[in-house]
Amino acid sequence: MDRAEKSQLVEDLGSVFKDTGVVVVAHYTGLSVAEMTSLRAQMREAGAGMRVAKNRLVKLALKGTDVEHVSDLFQGPTVIAYSDDPVAAPKIAVEFAKGNEKLVILGGAMGVTNLDPEGVKALAALPSLDELRGKLVGLLAAPATKVAQVLGAPAGQVARVVGAYAEQGEAA
């Protein structure tokens, strides 16, 4: 990799650190190519990204960003997972780490907030943005269905009363 390529990589990583909502840092020693490809695919499906880069270049890219405080995590073979949705990247990383002991989560950052491995796991336990939107729509739709049930209930009661009187008339 020549100087121009390194400079471009530092710029790209710098824009990733400035524009994303969350960054997760993990060690990946011992992961096979197939496992890394699978992890990348899962990240892509969730709307997240993943990069492997030299620690020196990552530390250069971190300078001047909100997540500069995670630079001490970059020792040894590290991988960076990131996403705009604060839950997507941590959720995929934690799920993958549960099934594969070779991926070890070191920590991360959400804006200026530093996350330890437990913080990343807690963030992964939260519902995603799409799940929260679904719950909100459900909560908004529930009152409308209840109003329809309440409005329909008196008509149903009148029909049952009329039906009961009709049955009494037939029985007599």
| Percent of the chain whose pLDDT exceeds 70 | 92
In the chain, the amino acid numbered 158 is V
For range 154-162, the mean pLDDT:
73
pLDDT tens-place string over residues 94-140: 999 998 888 999 999 988 888 889 988 988 888 877 777 888 887 77
Per-residue confidence (pLDDT) for residue 50, from 0 to 100 = 92
CA distance 137 to 12: 37
Residue showing tokens 């049955």 = 167
- Give the chain's mean pLDDT: 85
Orientation angle between helical segments 88-99 and 33-45, nearest 10 degrees:
150
Q: With respect to CATH, is domain 3-126 assigned 3.30.465.10?
A: no
| Domain extent listing, the chain | 3-126, 127-172
Per-residue confidence at 85, pLDDT binned at 50, 70, 90?
Answer: confident
* Residue 48 tokens, joined: 């997240």
Per-residue confidence at 17, pLDDT binned at 50, 70, 90?
Answer: confident
